[in-house]
Amino acid sequence: MPAITRGLLVCLASVLPAGALAAPDRVALGGEKYVQCAACHGADGRSTVIPQYPKIGGQSGPYVVNALKAYRDGRRQGTYAAVMAAVAKPLTDDEIENLAAYIESLDTVK
């Protein structure tokens, strides 16, 4: 990488808020974390293996963030809330944002 490009990246990194990532980075990181979600929701977020599980592929990012935080914090109740709470409990806010970006990106998969 040319020195000027490295310098520009260092400069940009110094003005971005801590934890700020470009959307492609969030999507990639979310994809890595989504592996555990795929067991129930399917690789494309549209699994029909267990019909009662929601199809989440392409769901709005902000909706996913709110839902995962509600499960994590025990504010969301329902039939599968206990399962989702166990999955969401260890997630950080950044991991939730990354997962949301990835799940929303699944809209391009039909």
* Parent domain of 35: 20-108
Q: How confident is the model at residue 108 (pLDDT cuts 50, 70, 90)?
A: low
- Give the contacts of 59 (CB within 8 A, at least 6 positions apart): 45, 103, 104
Q: How confident is the model at residue 5 (pLDDT cuts 50, 70, 90)?
A: very low
CA end-to-end distance (rounded Å), the chain: 37
Asked whether the whole model's pTM tops 0.85, one would answer no
Q: Does residue 1 sit within a domain? A: no
Give tens-digit pLDDT for 8-25: 444 444 454 544 566 779
User: Which CATH number goes with the domain that contains 49?
Assistant: 1.10.760.10
CB of 96 within 8 A of CB of 65? yes
